Structure 1
């Protein structure tokens, strides 16, 4: 096959984003390219390619994620997402392209003795795809010794790879906080218990976890990213859900954040006479 035009391929992936566990067109395109390269390919919850050379029994894995995010793309370039409300906003289009480029290079210049397994993982954004591939028997069928992956970083110098000994990324934990107040008419706020005002107080209180309750330099981030209510323009909400994201470098800090979140939420709930869970 002719050399892969990696820029064009990345643009193609960018135009056809698919959400986690729904990457059907993406999987078919990846599998087709691997097969054209002469790589043994199987499709399951993800896509796996196996390239074996020589008689060695050592094996490594190279891994990329495939899923996009439920985000509307507002860009105006000529390879903008063609799927309304879905976008490759985390760079997985680039990750797939890089791994296929690696597969092409290794298939053409196979100066190694052993096996390389190319792992294309679904549903990374919700943290479910890796376990799904493991549960499907990936590591029993192909017991690799090590797995390598890379994440792109817009703004990093071209040709530079950043790494370090030990830990390089924080953990991610998702949270939801449910506020059960009492709805009412906007003209009579004293009759209800406005969940959105209480929610705003919770959001502000959560920011004190990092700034006042953890040691400086802990490297923790607490972010509220969504506020959902049952209110209307002239009706105060009785129900509000706060959703967000916590990043931490060590398990102890992550557990302390969870404890403090519950403590703050319960205290604010008691102060306002509402249930917060």
Structure 2
């Protein structure tokens, strides 16, 4: 079996300097964002709201606080580029489950995640969206996670694979599950929910994308957007016959692209 998170060729790719940030009705934009914990926070703090700066102070580890500030600053900068607004003018609100959104422009939807020093942001219009990333071998107790989350049938199927393929399959399956919960706004409930995704299709080595329906009849596209050994999944709400265009943006490792104020 081929590793489930081998790099896939994106439908389109671009660099931010060459592409105007405008979304078509059928597009999802994915932004790979370096989030180095060594980046100077002072350069971006002015872009954040007072509650974001207060939230950063709650982190026990300074590196985590720096990463949070940089991630929020880049999120604000990118969303502001779509809306034609300065980053610091954006106002976030939160659902009861903690999912951020823009109450003044609810048509623009997004999902931000990170692993280590690398972040991934999905942006689209008029549809729910979620992304998740996972570094290889990050979860030491992946067997325990599989036993707790998978159905008995799926767990038995997992056990038939060679050991390394079990880890790879569970990593891919987990990011699909996390991205789906984020798209549905249920990420804070993950401990209460069992994974209920098409196991056999999700773990197929050639499954660059999967379409599934949830219990309410809503159709979701699950797309493999992994790269450079990082396992990543995009989940987006769509019509049964919809064609979703995924455009990939790669930002320079230079953090200084953020606007200074």
- On whether the aligned pair clears a TM of 0.5, the verdict is no
Q: Bigger relative contact order, structure 1 or 2, given CA contacts below 8 A and separation 6+?
A: 2
TM range (shorter): under 0.3
